[in-house]
Amino acid sequence: NAGVTQTPKFQVLKTGQSMTLQCAQDMNHEYMSWYRQDPGMGLRLIHYSVGAGITDQGEVPNGYNVSRSTTEDFPLRLLSAAPSQTSVYFCASSSRYSYNSPLHFGNGTRLTVT
């Protein structure tokens, strides 16, 4: 059982480039989310989805787009990368959030924007 799979593990971009961070889960979870992790700031919610076709903004959505066309996949798009987007990105999923249904995290994508 793979759980939550994120690709790539590492990525270097130049300012202005675009890219998509991939996230896939095989647990049939309705809920998926993206976080970024910066030193001293913990995990900040970028976007989340409670099911296919439904997405919503988190704490820091600017500069990022998401879509949820299937239950399994929740890609995160950077349309025009900026150095401020240098961070570690984590995708997470769970059953529709409820007690005893915590988030399952992937191992992250480390992104550097130069």
Partner 1 sequence: GESVGLHLPTLSVQEGDNSIINCAYSNSASDYFIWYKQESGKGPQFIIDIRSNMDKRQGQRVTVLLNKTVKHLSLQIAATQPGDSAVYFCAELKTSYDKVIFGPGTSLSVIP
| Residues lying near partner 1 in the complex (CB under 8 A) | 4, 31, 33, 35, 40-45, 48, 50, 56, 58-59, 90, 92, 97-100, 102-108
Q: Least distance in Å: CB of 80 to partner 1?
A: 26
- The smaller minimum CB distance to partner 1, of residues 4 and 81, is found at 4
Q: Least distance in Å: CB of 49 to partner 1?
A: 9
Q: Length of the chain in residues, anyone?
A: 114
- The smaller minimum CB distance to partner 1, of residues 86 and 104, is found at 104
DSSP per-residue string spanning 19-83 = EEEEEEESS--SEEEEEEE-TTS-EEEEEEEEETTEEEE-S--TTEEE--SSSSB--EEESS--G
Q: Least distance in Å: CB of 96 to partner 1?
A: 8
- The smaller minimum CB distance to partner 1, of residues 1 and 14, is found at 1
Q: Determine how β-strand 87-94 pairs with β-strand 31-37.
A: antiparallel
- The smaller minimum CB distance to partner 1, of residues 10 and 79, is found at 10
- Count CA atoms closer than 13 A to 57's CA, side-chain side: 7
